[in-house]
């Protein structure tokens, strides 16, 4: 999967990354003007003996845009652009406002290239917990940043969409609100990662607006999205529940206590919206389930 990223790099940088022999374990590549390039593999960093220049950053963006920055200007104004393979390139620079809206980001000085990964089967152990007697249970996945909650969510969505015969669960229509383009990794509107045959994606839209739209237009059985927490999210989730739609979301946190400290999410928990709360471990290996909260008691996985 890293090949699509190497194609947009200057050759001498691509060769240095290849020489690291990290295969597909790379998760991010950080490129900052006048600083050394850093390759990240999970919790480990590899600092290259290469100093990035403004020209290197411009050359990468020109390769991404096929020599026309204007073609990706709208994406850049949102802070990132997605390339073939679903890899996401975040940008930092000087923001230019016009009439209260972002008109341009100029003098881009930092790139964060996030490598799209998919781990098939990583949700297999949790599916019997969140599907009970053939019925999906509303679920919240909680973990600190970088601990695998988005990867786990993606695999759960795939299984909910395709169905699981061994659990007596037929595939459901899933509406995915992919606000930052990280779950389905759409390229030109088409998901580049496997999210199941019955999944519809609304990308690059705020979660609350997206949820409201798909309830009206797509008749979903299940709505999924990443990193809830705002009051607007709660209002849209309430509307989904009242419409009879099941839900699965993620949020940042390292314990049930930290979840309850978010007053918006606590409101949903007090309403018994979530039958299951999956807590992921903050250890070095992403995606490890630490505990599953179920009906007032922790269930050790």
291 and 145 share one domain? yes
The answer to whether residue 48 is domain-embedded is yes
CATH code of 48's domain:
3.30.450
Nearest-angstrom CA–CA distance, 173 and 197 = 9
Angle at 238 between CA 236 and CA 242, to 5 degrees: 115
Nearest-angstrom CA–CA distance, 288 and 255 = 14
Query: pLDDT value at position 284?
Result: 58
The answer to whether residue 119 is domain-embedded is no
* Cβ proximity of 208 and 236 under 8 Å: yes
- What Cα–Cα distance (Å) separates residue 271 from each residue in 60, 136, 278? 48, 18, 18
Nearest-angstrom CA–CA distance, 113 and 29 = 5
Q: Quick one: DSSP state of residue 193?
A: S
Residue 35 has pLDDT above 50, yes or no: yes
Nearest-angstrom CA–CA distance, 269 and 140 = 10
Show the domain range for 40.
3-114
Nearest-angstrom CA–CA distance, 95 and 117 = 30
Residue 288, C-beta contacts closer than 8 angstroms, at least 6 positions apart: 147, 148, 280, 281
152 and 287 share one domain? yes
Residue 194, C-beta contacts closer than 8 angstroms, at least 6 positions apart: 118, 120, 158
pLDDT digits (tens, 9 = 90+) for 141-154: 999 887 889 999 99
106 and 181 share one domain? no
Residue 156, C-beta contacts closer than 8 angstroms, at least 6 positions apart: 123, 126, 127, 130, 139, 141, 224, 248
Query: pLDDT value at position 188?
Result: 79
The answer to whether residue 20 is domain-embedded is yes
Q: What is the count of structural domains for the chain?
A: 2
146 and 102 share one domain? no
In three-state secondary structure terms, 36 is: strand
77 and 184 share one domain? no
Strand partners, 39: 29, 46
The answer to whether residue 120 is domain-embedded is no
The answer to whether residue 283 is domain-embedded is yes
* Cβ proximity of 39 and 64 under 8 Å: no
Q: Which two tokens stand for residue 163?
A: 């169905």
Q: Quick one: DSSP state of residue 23?
A: T
Quote the distance between the C-alpha of residue 199 and its chain's center.
15
- Between 88 and 93, the more confident residue is 93
Residue 6: count of CB within 10 angstroms of its CB: 14
Nearest-angstrom CA–CA distance, 160 and 155 = 9
277 and 184 share one domain? yes
* Cβ proximity of 157 and 246 under 8 Å: no
143 and 290 share one domain? yes
* Cβ proximity of 113 and 31 under 8 Å: yes
288 and 206 share one domain? yes
pLDDT digits (tens, 9 = 90+) for 145-193: 878 899 999 999 999 999 999 999 999 999 999 988 889 988 778 898 9
Angle at 192 between CA 28 and CA 78, to 5 degrees: 60
pLDDT digits (tens, 9 = 90+) for 204-254: 899 999 999 999 999 999 999 999 999 999 999 999 999 999 999 999 998
Query: Which of 55, 83, 114 represents a domain boundary (last residue)?
Result: 114
Percentage above 90 pLDDT, the chain: 66
Confidence of residue 283 (pLDDT cuts 50, 70, 90): low
């Amino acid at each position: 999967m890293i090949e699509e990223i190497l194609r947009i790099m200057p050759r001498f940088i691509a060769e240095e990354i290849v020489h690291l022999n990290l295969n597909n374990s790379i998760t991010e590549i950080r490129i900052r003007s006048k600083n050394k390039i850093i390759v990240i593999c999970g919790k480990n960093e590899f600092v290259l003996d290469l100093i990035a220049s403004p020209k290197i950053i411009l050359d990468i963006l020109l390769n991404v845009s096929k020599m026309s920055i204007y073609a990706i200007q709208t994406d850049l104004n949102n802070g990132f652009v997605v390339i073939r393979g679903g890899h996401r390139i975040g940008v930092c620079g000087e923001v230019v406002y016009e009439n209260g809206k972002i008109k341009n980001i100029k003098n881009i000085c930092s790139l964060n290239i996030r490598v799209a990964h998919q781990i098939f089967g990583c949700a297999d152990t949790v599916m019997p917990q969140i599907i009970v007697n053939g019925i999906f249970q509303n679920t919240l996945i909680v973990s600190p940043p970088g601990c695998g909650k988005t990867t786990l969510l993606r695999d759960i969505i795939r299984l909910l969409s395709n169905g699981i015969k061994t659990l007596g669960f037929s595939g459901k229509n899933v509406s995915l609100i992919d606000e930052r383009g990280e779950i389905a990794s759409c390229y030109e509107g088409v998901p580049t990662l496997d999210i199941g045959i019955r999944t519809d994606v609304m990308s690059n839209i705020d979660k609350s607006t997206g949820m409201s739209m798909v309830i009206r237009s797509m008749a979903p059985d299940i709505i999924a999205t990443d990193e809830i927490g705002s009051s607007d999210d709660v209002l849209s989730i309430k509307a989904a529940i009242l419409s009879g739609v099941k839900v699965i979301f993620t949020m940042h946190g390292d314990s049930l206590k930290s979840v309850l400290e978010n007053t918006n999410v606590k409101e949903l928990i007090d309403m018994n919206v979530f039958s299951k709360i999956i807590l992921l471990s903050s250890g070095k290996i992403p995606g490890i389930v630490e505990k599953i909260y179920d009906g007032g008691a922790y269930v050790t996985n």
